[in-house]
Structure 1
Amino acid sequence: MTVEQALQLLKEEGYKFTGKREQMIRIFDREKRYLSAKDILEYMQEDYPGLSYDTIYRNLTLFENMGILEATELGGERIYRFRCSTDEHHHHLICLSCGKARHIKSCPLDAMLGEPAEFTITGHKFEIYGYCTDCKPAK
């Protein structure tokens, strides 16, 4: 997903264009990692001093529902990132320190289950948490 695609999708779905929405989308594009609502608020506080968590959460939920953002939960907190640009089935390695994610091309579910009898899988999510080489803690 690009900034332009995200803004076009909002327009096509009839949502009002606002500077706050555009800035939020641009932050996700620039950061290329998982971010919390708190992270977004901190990035935007200077330009929008009265910005509330409610506004941030409303827009994060909207963006997730529209497929602009992907979400996961880490440490009891919902975190978000720009939707992957590929529609190819994949999973992620997620750094606990910086929030960057890498694709895992193979699906661990295939090795665990194969095709289960009398059940049709319509979706699943598999994430591995750890530290990237830049953030690996010293031993």
Structure 2
Amino acid sequence: MDVQMAIRTLKDNGYKYTDKRQEILRFLDQQDGYIPAKQVLEFMQQQYHGLSFDTVYRNLSLFADLGILEASEWEGEKRFRFSCEDDHHHHMICLACGKTKHIPVCPMEELYVGDGEFKVTSHKFEIFGYCLPCHKSS
């Protein structure tokens, strides 16, 4: 996903394209990993003084609902990043810098959940830890 695809997704789903939404998307496009909503707010307030956390968070949540962003939560804080364009996969996530690394297999392939009593429609698998540079610096 990139900024232009994200804007097209917004429009295709009946949402307005605004300068603020474009700025949020451009900022996230330049990041390498998951970014806390508070960090997005701090960036946006440099240009839009008085912009509320609710406005930023509402847009981030909308982008996640539309599949533009992926969301994860750790340490009590929701974080966002652009959705991957790759096939189905999962991530290892650095708790210090938020960078991600793809996990090449899906653990759901090893689980038997097809007993007919429950229909799986989606799942999420994340491994948290520290990337090598962050691990070495601590």
Q: Structure 2 length as normaliser, TM-score?
A: 0.90
Alignment of 1:115-134 (within 5 A): 116-118=114-116, 119-134=118-133
Shift of 1:138: 4.8
The answer for the alignment partner of 2:44 in structure 1 is: 44
Question: How far apart are 1:117 and its partner, in Å?
Answer: 2.8
Q: Give the AA of the match of 1:75.
A: E
Please list the CA deviations of residues 94-132 of structure 1 after superposition, one character each: whole Å capped at 9, or x if unmatched.
000110111101112333x24543343221111000111
Q: 1:30 Cα deviation (Å)?
A: 0.5
Aligned residues: 137
Distance 1:138 1:19, change over 3 A: closer
The answer on whether the counterparts of 1:35 and 1:99 sit within 8 Å (CA) in structure 2 is yes
Structure 2 residue aligned with 1:108:
107
Distance between the aligned counterparts of 2:135 and 2:57, measured in 1? 31
- CA positional deviation for 1:137: 4.2
Q: Distance in 1 between matches of 2:11 and 2:19?
A: 13
Alignment RMSD (CA, Å): 1.6
Give the TM-score of the pair, scaled to structure 1.
0.90
Q: CA deviation at 1:58?
A: 1.0
Q: Where does structure 1 lack aligned partners over 5 or more consecutive residues?
A: none
Q: Percent identity?
A: 50
Distance 1:122 1:6 in 2: 24
* Structure 1 consecutive aligned stretches of length 4 or more whose deviation exceeds 6 Å: none
